[in-house]
Chain A
Amino acid sequence: MEIAGTLRTVREMGLVACTSCTRVWPAGTDRCGRCGHRLHTRAPMALQRVWAWWLVGVIAYVPANLYPMLSTRTLIASQEATIIGGAVDLARNGNWGIALVILTASVAIPLGKFLAIAMLALGVRHGSALSGSRRQQLYQVVEYIGRWSMIDVFVVAILASLVQLGAVASVSPGPASLFFALSVIFTMLSAQSFDSRLIWDAAREGRRA
């Protein structure tokens, strides 16, 4: 990008920007006069907050996989299924597509998010092999996709309310649903705490040096 070399940042100009409504104010202004958002040149302790939410997210993800997500009782049997166990059962019954959706939404995406956020946060501190725009894209993907992990919690909710056929069949949610939901929420908060301007600070400093 030729133009990027001549672009100036708000911080270089001794100003402070509102990340909520994009208005620019003189440095030292406390609150945005247009939308009331708190103004910071860079979000204070952004990385610490990212790591704190990230850690509780990872911790909550462990019991989410160990405990059963669903317990199903039918006339003949009662069984409890974990996330992975449920997907394996679906695949065994020939529902490969749905098994893949569940494995993607509940295993691949959460793990990918943990990795991506860790990479972004580490990249700010220690530099990254990826360019600024690549990391920005990665961050946007993480932000966009994070909410979709809730799909498994909703599936459990729908099944548990719908499949209530007395003795014939009934489904009830297991403790993993709570831990999984918490893990998704914590990871979303972790991603939101990340100040993506930090990506570009490092990239710009690198260019100048």
Chain B
Amino acid sequence: MLVPMTPFDVPQPIPPAPNAAGPDLAALIACPRCDAVYRAVQPGPGERAVCACCKTVLIAPRRRAGQHLIAVAVAVVVLVVAATLAPFLAIEAAGRRNASSVLDAALAFAANGPVAILALAVAALIVFIPVLRALLVIYVLGPVVLDRPPAPHAAAAFRLSEDLRPWSMAEIFVIGCAVALVKIADLAQVHFGPAFWMFAALVVLVVVQDGFMCRYSVWKSLER
């Protein structure tokens, strides 16, 4: 379903103010992409406020986004942990069989001298960073959803979670699996383990999570 878009209801171009350092600086919002500044107006749930200059989505609140995000984050943690330990894929050729877990895939580089650093990097990109991001989201949004004051260092935690966003690559790993499977399909018979389906579900969850995340609303809620 498409998100209904409002034709930009935020921007009231701000008149030049000689003494702008007034109390209403908190009511302004700056586009991080192009530096345009607006007086923020909270759009309704499902609506979006878009920068008039560069079209960046500035505010996109969703109803009960906090609960949804926490539910998704818990699911991500469970799935990644379970998928890391369970067998992921198995192949069979000439009577020999080998099963591999996600952790095995990450550690495939470990035995290989200088390439061993890659083992660490791959494990971080597909297991640790996605889990860490999910845990940070739970930590930050938990108190907000329960109407409690924000947890200590919640702002730093949320900023870390956002900084890590491009480095969380579980979904790319899943597509990598598809490519790898085609590559070996001629060579051997491939069996899918339970972890494969868990990771496939994870891809969907990551997309859902990004759809619900409105950073502006989170920062607003942490201000209290």
Interface residues of A (CB under 8 A from B): 1, 3-4, 6-11, 13-15, 17-26, 34-37, 90, 93, 95, 97-98, 101-102, 132-133, 136, 143, 146-148, 150-166, 168-169, 172-173, 175, 177-178, 181, 185, 188, 192, 196-197, 199-201
Contact = CB atoms under 8 A, between A and B. Distances in A.
Contacts of A9: 34-37
Contact of B176 (A7, A25, A97, A151): A151
Interface stretch (B62-70, B76-84, B141-149, B179-187): B179-187
A197 B96 contact: no
Contacts of B173: 154
B16 interface: yes
A40 B158 CA distance: 20
A34 B105 contact: no
A150 to B, nearest CB: 6
Contacts of B30: 10, 15, 17-18, 22-24
Interface of B: 11, 13-14, 16-17, 20-21, 25-26, 28-37, 52-56, 58, 89-91, 93-94, 96-98, 100, 104-109, 111-112, 114-115, 117-118, 121-122, 125-126, 155-156, 158-159, 162, 166-167, 169, 172-173, 175-177, 179-180, 182-184, 186-188, 215-216, 219, 222-223
Nearest to A6: B13
A24 B36 CA distance: 11
Given A133-B55, A172-B112, A165 B98 contact: yes
Q: Which 9 A-B pairs have the closest CB atoms?
A: A154-B176, A17-B30, A160-B108, A161-B108, A158-B180, A200-B34, A161-B104, A19-B32, A24-B28
A159 B122 CA distance: 14
Contacts of B107: 161
A119 to B, nearest CB: 17
Contacts of B97: 165
Contacts, number: 233
A155 B180 CA distance: 5
Nearest to A21: B219
Contact of A155 (B16, B35, B176, B187): B176
Nearest to B168: A147
A159 B183 contact: yes
A154 B94 CA distance: 26
B159 A36 contact: yes
Nearest to A94: B186
A209 to B, nearest CB: 18
A166 B98 CA distance: 10
Contacts of A23: 26, 29-30, 219
A199 to B, nearest CB: 7
B172 A154 contact: yes
Contact of B54 (A136, A156, A160, A173): A136
Given A36-B156, A147-B169, A157 B16 contact: no
B11 A3 contact: yes
B105 A165 contact: no
B67 to A, nearest CB: 22
A145 B90 CA distance: 30
Contacts of A158: 89, 100, 105, 108, 176-177, 180
A157 B13 contact: no
Contact of A159 (B114, B118, B159, B180): B180
A155 B89 CA distance: 13
A178 B122 contact: no
Contact of B183 (A155, A181, A192): A155
B170 to A, nearest CB: 10
B37 A17 contact: yes
Contacts of A143: 166
A49 to B, nearest CB: 16
Nearest to A174: B115
Contacts of B55: 133, 136
B32 A22 contact: yes
